[in-house]
Amino acid sequence: MVCLVVRKDISRQLNALCRTLTEKFGDIKSIIMNINSKKTNVILGDECVTLWGSDTISDTMCGNTVEISPLSFYQVNTVQAERLYGKALEYASPESSEVIADLYCGAGTIGLSMAKQAAKIVGVEIVPQAVENAKKNALRNNIANAEFHCGDAGEVFGKLRKQGCKPDIIVVDPPRKGCSPETIGFMAEAAPRKIVMISCNPATAARDAKLLSERGYSADKVCGVDLFPKTGHVECVVLMSRDKA
C-alpha cells in the first residue's frame, strides 16, 4: 500500500504518479490519498481516498490473516514483529480461564495472537477504522473469543466492569508518547496480575513503568527487539507484575 499524505484533494494531479508506480512496481496493491490539512505533528488525517486498487491490504501475522487499512497501525517488519509479539505472549503466559485486555489494539494483531491461550480478548482502540479492521480480522480467522471496542480505555472498561468484565492481564502497545495518565490510572485501578507493555520508545516505557511501580507493580523482565535495523530505534517489551505484598 502506498499512502500519499496531502494538504487537500489533488487526486487528478496524482493520476500520472499512480500510473508510473503501478507500471514499475507490480507488488503494489493499493494507492491511497490521505488528506490532512492540519499543521500539527500528526501525520495522517481522517479522510482517505482510494486512488487505485483496493481499500485495504492483507498480511499474515502470527498465523492469522489480517486486513490493514491506512489508519490502522501495523508493523512493517513482519518477521521481527512476530518475535516481538511472541515475547509479549511469553511474558503474559495467560491461563485458559483468563481475560486479556488489549489496549491501543490497532487492527487487533497482538490480541488475536493470544486468543487461543486465553478465555477472552477485549481490545480497545480509539481509531474507528482500526476497530473495524480488528473485528473483521477476528471473523476472518474464526476467533470467537475476541471483542473490540472503539473509545478511551478507561471509559470503555468503566462500562465493561459494571457488566462484570475484569481483565486478569493487560497488554498495552501505546504510541511513542507512551500511555496517557488516564490509561495508567485505569490499569492501576483494574489491578490485573500482569501488565505487558510493548513500546517503540524505551524512554516513555521507563517513565510508564516507574508510574506503575508507584502503584503496586514491579518490572520483572524487559527485552529489546530490533525492528528497525541500522537505526537508533528499538522496540521493547516489559513485564510488570503486581506486588504480592
Delimit the domains of the chain by residue range: 2-55, 59-242
What is the CATH code for 59-242? 3.40.50.150
200 catalytic residue (yes or no): yes
Let me know: does 147 contact 125? Beta carbons within 8 Å. Answer: no
Please state the pTM of the whole predicted model. Answer: 0.87
**Three-state SS for 228?**
coil
Using left for φ > 0, alpha for ψ between -120 and 50, and beta otherwise, residue 38 falls in beta
In the prediction, which pLDDT does 137 show?
Answer: 94
Cα(202)–Cα(224) distance, integer angstroms: 9
pLDDT at site 186:
87
Q: Which residues contact 45 (CB under 8 A, 6 or more apart)?
A: 5, 34, 35, 36, 37, 38
* pLDDT the model gives residue 158: 77
Residues lower than pLDDT 70 in the chain: 244-245
Are 209 and 238 in contact by the 8 Å Cβ rule? The answer is yes
pLDDT of residue 163: 85
Q: Please, what's the b/e burial string for 83-113 (b: 16 or more CB within 10 A of its CB; e: otherwise)? A: bbbebbbebbebeeebbbbbbbbbbbbbbbb
* Catalytic, out of 18, 105, 179, 200: 200
pLDDT single digits (tens) 130-149 = 899 999 999 999 999 999 99
